[in-house]
Structure formats: structure tokens, C-alpha cells
Amino acid sequence: QRKNPFSSDNRLASKPAHTQRGDPTYGRPPEGSRTEQRGKDAHSHVGKEVEELCLIIRSTGQVGEDGHVSVTFGQLFETYVTISNKVVGILLRARKHGLVHFEGEMLWQGKDDDVVITLL
């Protein structure tokens, strides 16, 4: 539509055609857009879920000799699944941010019930 001479949509003409890799706006929604706001809201929501998960680990886990609280995945899954069905995704996000540690790439219900999750 940007190249269509018969288009009367002025909104298209005011936007840049393409951004290039290396550009700070590459892969990001336009500043001030509703898409940007939805992304910020989602990021905030996931952050709150990660905090809640850490609180659940602290309340259900046991303090080890090293002073860190640990819980098995099976125990955490049974407790947290009543709150949210995204327990594995939230665990992965918490690990990415250095809040928890566990062995393996992915945790599966049943198979990985004995994997220890440590709150850092």
C-alpha cells in the first residue's frame, strides 16, 4: 500500500518502509503504540507470576545446608498448577533471570518429578 499511488491512507506514508538490523527500533513496535503498551503489560504480568512462583517455592520448599530453599518439581507442580497452568514456562523465565536453578533444559510432569529446583 505504501507504493500504491491510488491509496489515500496517509498513515502508511508517514511510517518508515523498513528498519534494518542494527537499528535500535528493529523488531520493536512503534513507540507509544498500543502494541508497545500490550508488550509492557505482558512483561509486567509475567514478572508478577515469577515473583509468585518464588514465593510458592519459599513456602513449600525446605532450607538446605547451603541456606537455599529447594523443592522437587513434582511437589511444586502439584502446588502451583492450581494457581496457573504455565508452571514450566514461568520456571524457565525465572531461571533465565537467575532466580532459580534446576538441571535439564525442560521439565516434564511425571518424568521429572524428582528434579530439585533451588531458589537462588
Is 16 part of a structural domain of the chain? no
What CATH number is associated with residue 49? 1.10.10.1540
Q: Give me the pLDDT at residue 48, please.
A: 94
Is 102 part of a structural domain of the chain? yes
**Which residue type is seen at 57?**
I
Is 78 part of a structural domain of the chain? yes
Q: Give me the pLDDT at residue 15, please.
A: 54
CA–CA distance, 113 with 71 (Å, rounded to integer): 10
Is 73 part of a structural domain of the chain? yes
Is 14 part of a structural domain of the chain? no
Number of independent structural domains in the chain: 1
Digit-coded pLDDT (tens) for 29-66: 888 889 999 999 999 999 999 999 999 999 999 998 99
Instruction: Read off the DSSP letter of residue 52.
Output: H
116-119 sheet: strands from edge to edge: 62-63, 69-72, 116-119, 100-101
Is 41 part of a structural domain of the chain? yes
Range of the domain at 55: 34-119
Is 25 part of a structural domain of the chain? no
Digit-coded pLDDT (tens) for 79-108: 887 777 788 999 999 999 999 999 999 999
**Which residue type is seen at 24?**
P
Q: Which three cell numbers stand for residue 105?
A: 533444559
From 105, 52, 99, 107, select the one nearest 80 (Cα to Cα): 52
The residue ranges of DSSP E strands in the chain, in sequence order, are: 62-63, 69-72, 100-101, 116-119
CA–CA distance, 8 with 10 (Å, rounded to integer): 6
The model's pTM is 0.70
